[in-house]
Structure 1
Amino acid sequence: MSRLIARGPILQTFVHAVFPPECLSCRMRVASDDGLCGPCWRDTAFITGDVCDACGVPMHGDVQRGDRCDDCLSIARPWSQGRAALLYKDRGRALVLALKHSDRHDIVRPVGLWLARAVKDILRDDMLVAPVPLHWTRMVRRRYNQSSLIGQAMAREVGASFSADLLMRTRATVSLDGKSREERFAELQGAIVVNPKRAGEMRGRSILLVDDVMTSGATLAACAEACLKSQASEVCVVTLARVAKDD
């Protein structure tokens, strides 16, 4: 065993010599795996500082613990707290789209680290992590659920339990791109349920839902409501990116 462990750094050095680490965004060579180069890091809008307690969007001014942004004050959120790793714009948007549509699985591990940092102050004991589900027809076309990949990577980083199929989509909803807030919520009504085989796992537990992007929050709301109907004690959410209004 010790011999195998000793080989690890040597093997990694060999791999790096043949395949030098590259920036996740621009592919420029970088010093280590799973990172961004300096310019791309500066162009990626990571969320830091004071945030809305329900969705994680940055807030400015005299912000108190538990404060919510205007959107989360005007829309009922069935979850307790929420966080996001970055804003859905510039390099951040490009990374989300690459993960979602271009089979960029090399992005998964660093995203797991980013999400782990984002949720550190809302983790609960014995929290169960679950992704927003895809309908099986979309899963067949895409071959993977990006929310499940990043959720599992994050759960591994924080030491939480993960359930890939805790939730199910009962019908193939249409794309929500370009739809109004009201249309988004209407389209998701009743479309997500708890997997009957997993219902016992969530009863009385805190659930942490993971998705790639939050716009209106309609998808996360449908998932949270399904969890609460199945007697989850509480639901929190985290997304890789949050769509925010321009300042």
Structure 2
Amino acid sequence: MLRSASLAAVTAPVIDLVFPPRCPLCGDPLARQGGLCVACWGRLAIPGDPACALCQRPLGEEHGDDGHLICAPCLASPPKHEGITAATLYNDASRDLVLAFKHGRRVGLAGLLAQLIVPRLPELDGEWLVVPVPLHRWRLWRRGFNQSALLAARIARVTGQALAVDALVRVKQTPPLGGLNRRARAVALSGAIAASPRWASRLKGTNVLLVDDVMTSGATTDACLRALRKAGAARIRIACFARVLDEALDAADRSGTSLDGTDTGP
């Protein structure tokens, strides 16, 4: 670790000379690599408090903020996970970062996105497996990488938890999910995700941090949750870079965001 840090310190000036640090959103010069300019930081919408401890849905100020508040929908129909951690709410700025990362093939953005996720995670007590939402092998072949796996690898490294990059597999190819409603997404994902047989013994009774880049309707994560529960996972938390949660954007006084048919699914 020290050797890597020393090497990075030595090579940083050379990298900055060849590739001057610039904001990945607007292109303005930066003091160092791997960040955003002040203006673009301000464009990101960060989930606020008070919010539901399970689904991150915003709650009124009258509820206070003790970190354990549960909203009425979650009380009526408890989710099959222990909470969702989103670094940002899905707006124009986070959308541009995701598109550059996933479809623009700017894989170096994985560090920045993970850097925004990790500080918002609750303390991961004990041992956890960090598991990415899987891609079907044909989509992985076409894209060349799984963006969720890149985020999971960074998160595992920073938190010191084990990475299980292939714990889940897509056994059925699904169509692009952009533009589909929640019901259509659920139908498309039915039976599409399963636990890998080679991880069966490790998943049983373990804690899992499920990682995705964008959480839209929750249909993809629900499919992953079903597979992990079937494999015997004990506790599951969800972590993502951006969360589509319009009521939270309204609460944060952020407007003008829409999915406009973009494929935000895996």
Normalised by the size of structure 2, how large is the TM-score?
0.84
Distance 1:227 1:105, change over 3 A: same
Distance 1:173 1:7, change over 3 A: closer
Q: 1:87 aligns with which of 86, 89, 112?
A: 89
The structural deviation recorded for 1:54 is 2.2
SS of structure 2 residue aligned to 1:55: coil
Distance 1:7 1:148 in 2: 25
The structural deviation recorded for 1:205 is 0.8
Distance 1:64 1:216, change over 3 A: farther
Report what 1:149 is aligned to. Answer: 150
Report what 2:256 is aligned to. Answer: none
Q: 2:118 aligns with which of 76, 91, 116?
A: 116
Report what 2:242 is aligned to. Answer: 241
Of the structure 1 ranges 18-27 and 81-90, higher mean CA displacement relative to structure 2 is found in: 18-27
Distance 1:106 1:57, change over 3 A: farther
Residue identity (%): 36
Q: 2:106 aligns with which of 100, 104, 107?
A: 104
Distance 1:189 1:157 in 2: 33
**Deviations, residues 188-246 of structure 1 (Å, cap 9, x unaligned):** 22211100011111111100100111111111111111111111111111111000124
Distance 1:136 1:39, change over 3 A: same
| RMSD after superposition | 2.3
The 5 Å alignment of 1:28-47 reads 28-47=28-47
Q: How many residues align?
A: 245
Of the structure 1 ranges 179-188 and 54-63, higher mean CA displacement relative to structure 2 is found in: 54-63
The 8 Å contact of residues 172 and 191 in structure 2, kept in 1 or not, is answered as no
The structural deviation recorded for 1:6 is 5.9
The structural deviation recorded for 1:104 is 0.9
Distance 1:174 1:11, change over 3 A: closer
**Deviations, residues 151-197 of structure 1 (Å, cap 9, x unaligned):** 11111111111011000111011222222222222222221110001
The 8 Å contact of residues 21 and 29 in structure 2, kept in 1 or not, is answered as yes
SS of structure 1 residue aligned to 2:198: coil
The 8 Å contact of residues 169 and 193 in structure 1, kept in 2 or not, is answered as yes
The 8 Å contact of residues 99 and 105 in structure 1, kept in 2 or not, is answered as yes
The 8 Å contact of residues 79 and 235 in structure 1, kept in 2 or not, is answered as yes
SS of structure 2 residue aligned to 1:12: helix
The structural deviation recorded for 1:19 is 2.4
**Unpaired runs of at least 5, structure 2:** 251-266
**Unpaired runs of at least 5, structure 1:** none
The structural deviation recorded for 1:5 is 7.2
The structural deviation recorded for 1:48 is 4.2
The 5 Å alignment of 1:144-183 reads 144-183=145-184
Distance 1:229 1:196 in 2: 12
The 5 Å alignment of 1:208-219 reads 208-219=209-220
Amino acid at match of 2:17: A
The structural deviation recorded for 1:7 is 6.2
SS of structure 2 residue aligned to 1:236: strand
